[in-house]
Structure 1
Amino acid sequence: MCRLLAVVTVLALIKADKVPFITRCKSDDDNCLKKSTSEALPVLASGLPDYGVNSLDPVIFTRIDASTPVLSFLIDDVIVKGFKKCIPLTTHRDSKKSKISIKVLCDGGKMDGRYMITGQVLFVPIEGNGKMHVDLNNGELEVNMFVSNVQGEDGKNHWNIKNWTYTYDLKGKSNVYFENLFNKESFLGQTAQEMVASNGNAIIHDIGKPIITAIVTEIVQNVQRFFNAVPSEDLSLD
């Protein structure tokens, strides 16, 4: 009886999903892929220390340099929240092109930090330093990852992200707030605050790309850590 129980236990362990929050799908089954992404995203966002995956909600940066040729813009102690709330819109894997595409809609994202800025935003002079806050509403993010198969330390094939691209669009009205613009000089500061308050989306499009790139880079790096830990046979049926 003891031997029988031992055999049953071993078989159960062998058949158990090695990554329980991943539903393995065929590459041409977009519905299955979307469902699997929906289940996996909040788990990955919470962080998976056993897989080497850091928390993505919040994402924390010591400093982001978002400067441009006409703007000096540094943000320290950056905290980004809300990735767990992102909802997959589409997930597609093109096995012939070795491409994985994921599009998500993220509502209620927030970013806080301390900024130092001087230069031009939307062709308007701006300067200041202090706290900043951003509310991102209905941001649509699409990430395209081009992968290859590499042999891991376990002797199995693992996906390796060779390169990636992304697009980002704002579907809702976002809000940007900079404390202490023009060092609280009344007229210039008030004028700048009104400009910022009225043009949240335009400001994010104008000066936000380095910030978004830093966030997406952190996401992709953590996806790669997950791929390093889990062989492709445990992620896909083909």
Structure 2
Amino acid sequence: MELVFKVLSLLVIGVSVSESAKFPKNWKNCKNDEKLNDCLKDALQNVIPFFVEGIPNLGVHSLDPLHFDQISIGKGSGPVSLDLDFMDFDVTGIKDVTVDSVDTDWKIMRLEGSTPKLELKGKYKIDGKVLVLPVTGLGDCLLEMDNFRAHVIANMSEKSTGSKTYYNIDHMDFHFDTDLLKLHFDNLFNGDKALGDQMNIFVNENWKEILTELRPAVAKSFAMAFKEIGNRVFTKIPKDLITPP
């Protein structure tokens, strides 16, 4: 949900209960499993509810909703050209994530996940054009993505602190797609209902072009959030508790 969805932080489920890591006793241990990827896939699926609720001792807050202070899309030069800011944004739907695959050698990690619906709700400010039509507005907005699919690639390294070695996420790429993007913007054109209703119809008819404009900034924001959460967890779990020495 790590969508996808801070899910990279869930990779630590292979760790045994020890030291400062206080994991629920029923978490599956994949440390010595010969079929590591299959084990991690099942373990991640089982542990998603714990991360959705949040695990304070690992520095993980509730992942559903996942909160963003701001996501900004700069004006491009294509048929959709928008200065668009999303503010005070909550993302829901991570609790319904299905872990589709896990592939890792602890140097590169690849995860794929999906959820039937991802909902993004908050404030917006927009100025620009969609195809030939100008659009302006400031207010509440709602975006819904049906059959949201995410692919996460993380580059890993090792860092030593004192006598212990920890994994670290150096870089993360987040890619996503959806079968349908539905959008609704309140208070377009300073509250002109007729113009606003028509523009909402128009942007939904052209959702693929809108998605092309939104995708880079949204993916980058997810990647930054998931990397931060993943490293917050990894700094608490020594490497030798995650993988065999």
TM exceeding 0.5:
yes
Cα distance change, pair 72–47 in 1 and its aligned pair in 2 (3 A): same
Aligned partners of 2:186 and 2:196 also within 8 Å: no
Q: 2:138 aligns with which of 126, 129, 140?
A: 129
User: Is residue 2:233 matched to residue 1:231?
Assistant: no
Which position in structure 2 is the counterpart of 1:8? Answer: none
Cα displacement string for residues 1-45 of structure 1 (whole angstroms, at most 9, x for unaligned residues)? xxxxxxxxxxxxxxx633343522458532112112212333223
Q: Is the 8 A contact 2:119 2:143 kept in 1?
A: yes
Q: What does residue 87 of structure 1 align with?
A: 98
- 1:87-131 CA-to-partner distances (Å, cap 9, x unmatched) read 111001124xx1111110022221111111001235542211111
C-alpha distance in 1 between matches for 2:51 and 2:161? 21
Is contact 1:42–1:85 with CA below 8 Å preserved after alignment?
A: no
Provide the rounded CA distance (Å) in 2 between the counterparts of 1:60 and 1:85: 17
- Structure 2 residue aligned with 1:7: none
Mapped to 2, the partners of 1:150 and 1:54 lie a distance apart of 24
Q: Report the Cα distance in structure 1 between the residues aligned to 2:111 and 2:195, rounded to whole angstroms.
A: 43
SS at match of 1:126: strand
For residues 109-128 of structure 1, what are the structure 2 equivalents within 5 Å? 109-122=118-131, 124-128=133-137
Provide Cα deviations, 1:177-214, integer angstroms capped at 9, x if missing partner.
Answer: 11122224355433311112323344223224313321
Instruction: From 138, 161, 171, give the equivalent of 2:169.
Output: 161
**3-state DSSP of counterpart to 1:62:** strand
Match of 2:30 among 24, 49, 63: 24
SS of alignment partner, residue 102 of structure 1: strand
| Alignment partner of 2:158 out of 140, 149, 152 | 149
CA deviation vs aligned residue, 1:115-166 (integer Å, no higher than 9, x gap): 110012355422111110011211111111111111245x322111111212
Bigger-Rg structure (1/2)? 1
Distance 2:222 2:37 in 1: 26
Query: Percent identity between the aligned chains?
Result: 23
Q: TM-score, normalised by structure 2?
A: 0.79
Inter-partner Cα distance in structure 2 for 1:47 and 1:66: 29
Query: In structure 2, how many angstroms separate the alpha carbons of the residues matched to 1:225 and 1:66?
Result: 27
Aligned partner of residue 108 in structure 1, secondary structure: strand
Using CA pairs below 8 Å that are at least 6 residues apart, which structure has the higher relative contact order? 2
Separation in structure 2 between the aligned mates of residue 175 and residue 135 of structure 1, nearest angstrom? 5
Partners of 1:39 and 1:237 lie apart in 2 by 22
Q: Report the Cα distance in structure 2 between the residues aligned to 1:151 and 1:182, rounded to whole angstroms.
A: 55
Q: Structure 1: where are the runs of 5+ without partners?
A: 1-15
TM-score, normalising length from structure 1?
0.81
- 2:150, 2:177 within 8 Å by CA — same for their partners in 1? yes
SS of match in other structure, 1:213: helix
Query: Cα gap change, 1:45/1:186 in structure 2, threshold over 3 Å: closer, same or farther?
Result: closer
Corresponding residue for 1:103? 112
Q: Whole-Å Cα distance in 2 between the matches of residues 110 and 79 of structure 1?
A: 8
What's the counterpart of residue 61 of structure 1?
A: 68
User: What amino acid does structure 1 have at the position aligned with 2:230?
Assistant: V
Q: Distance in 2 between matches of 1:196 and 1:27?
A: 50
* Alpha-carbon offset, residue 215 of structure 1: 2.6
CA contact (8 A) 1:37 1:91 kept: no
Name the CA distance, whole Å, in 2 between partners of 1:89 and 1:52: 26
The structural deviation recorded for 1:66 is 2.1
